[in-house]
């Protein structure tokens, strides 16, 4: 027994006779098609400005060494004052959770590197 076709509701955008378009990536489409349709990253000029700790970082390495004694000055220099690199180093060296390491790094950077 066939089920009856109900008329489209008044607030529906599709009428009963309209066909829904193909999905964005139909079966059989290859990876190149998906790459072409993928959203593009923001151009560098429009990305939000982030404070750059690099110029001040070399002068802050001794303070960071005093703050985190298990880390060598070379390792600290290699992070270049970049928050994500420093967080990963603290997390690994002190066996901290990512949140606790990030909190320590943010506290240090706010006290020593940002005005």
Tell me which residue has tokens 């429009």: 46
Place of tokens 């009963």: 16
Q: Which domain holds residue 87?
A: 54-112
- Which CATH number fits the domain that encloses residue 92? 1.10.1470
70 assigned to some structural domain: yes
Are 114 and 70 in contact by the 8 Å Cβ rule? The answer is no
Number of domains in the chain: 1
- For 66-76, the pLDDT digits (tens) are 999 999 999 99
Mean pLDDT of the chain: 74
More confident residue, 71 or 36: 71
Q: What is the largest CA-CA distance in the chain?
A: 82
Torsion, Cα 70 75 76 81, to 10 degrees, reads: -140
Asked whether residue 88 is domain-assigned, the answer is yes
């Amino acid at each position: 027994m066939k089920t009856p076709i109900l008329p489209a509701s008044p607030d529906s955008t599709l009428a009963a006779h309209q066909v829904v378009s193909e999905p964005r990536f139909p079966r059989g489409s290859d990876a190149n098609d998906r790459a072409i349709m993928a959203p593009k990253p923001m151009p560098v000029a429009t990305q939000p400005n982030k404070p750059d700790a690099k110029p001040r970082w070399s002068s802050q390495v001794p303070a960071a060494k005093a703050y985190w004694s298990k880390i060598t000055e070379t390792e600290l220099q290699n992070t270049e004052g970049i928050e994500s690199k420093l967080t990963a180093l603290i997390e690994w060296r002190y066996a901290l959770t990512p949140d606790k390491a990030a909190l320590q790094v943010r506290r240090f950077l706010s006290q020593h590197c940002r005005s």
